[in-house]
Amino acid sequence: MTNNNKNNFLYPRHPYHGQVKPENLVFNSNLQEFAQKINYICNLETGGKLPPDEAYQQIKSLWKDLKKSKKELGIGRKAR
């Protein structure tokens, strides 16, 4: 497997279909990264490699980071 194929397999990216604005594209990228990290954490916990409380804390931290990103980018705010 070539390096590019391995990266595409491990880190799949999907095209963005929403309203194309820089903040939406950045948030979409952050959201995809969040989902990928959550998947890894869940798999590690399911496989017994990560204790449930540690998995919870990591997911909670990632969620806080995603919420902060959403707020900083102004996603969901009504336009004036």
Q: What is the pLDDT of residue 13?
A: 67
Structural contact between residues 28 and 16, judged by C-beta atoms closer than 8 angstroms: yes
Q: What is the pLDDT of residue 28?
A: 93
Q: Rounded CA gap, 69 and 27, in Å?
A: 7
pTM for this model (two decimals): 0.79
Q: What single-letter DSSP state applies at residue 49?
A: S
Residues 9-47: tens digit of each pLDDT: 766 667 778 889 999 999 999 999 999 999 999 999 999
Query: Which is more confidently placed, 57 or 15?
Result: 57
For the chain, the first-to-last Cα distance in angstroms comes to 50
HEC string of 20-47 equals CCHHHHHHHHHHHHHHHHHHHHHHHHHC
Domain boundaries, the chain: 27-68
Average pLDDT, the chain: 89
Q: What is the CA radius of gyration of the chain?
A: 15
Residues 65-79: tens digit of each pLDDT: 999 999 999 998 876
